[in-house]
Amino acid sequence: MALSAYDLSGRTALVAAAAGGIGRACAVLPAEAGATVHRADRDADGPDGTAALIEDHGGTASGRHG
């Protein structure tokens, strides 16, 4: 998706259910636009996989399950 029209640098996004599926996609997109993404999920390991994906796309990930 072309995100050149959206600059979220210096912004923070909080994404719940970020371990997979739509929640994971909702976490990656703002990261691609420059936001720091705090992710949360009940799944203990899923948010770590999302963090790796966010960082692979040049974003910054924070947070964990809970």
Phi, psi of 39 (to 5 degrees): -120, 150
**What is the residue type of 38?**
H
The number of beta carbons lying within 10 Å of the beta carbon of residue 4 is: 6
Tens-place pLDDT, residues 10-54: 999 999 988 889 999 999 999 999 999 998 888 777 778 888 999
0.75 exceeded by pTM? yes
Q: Which residue carries 């936001």 as its tokens?
A: 35
What residue spans define the domains of the chain? 13-62
DSSP 13-62: EEEESTTSHHHHHHHHHHHHTT-EEEEE-SSSSHHHHHHHHHHHTT-EEE
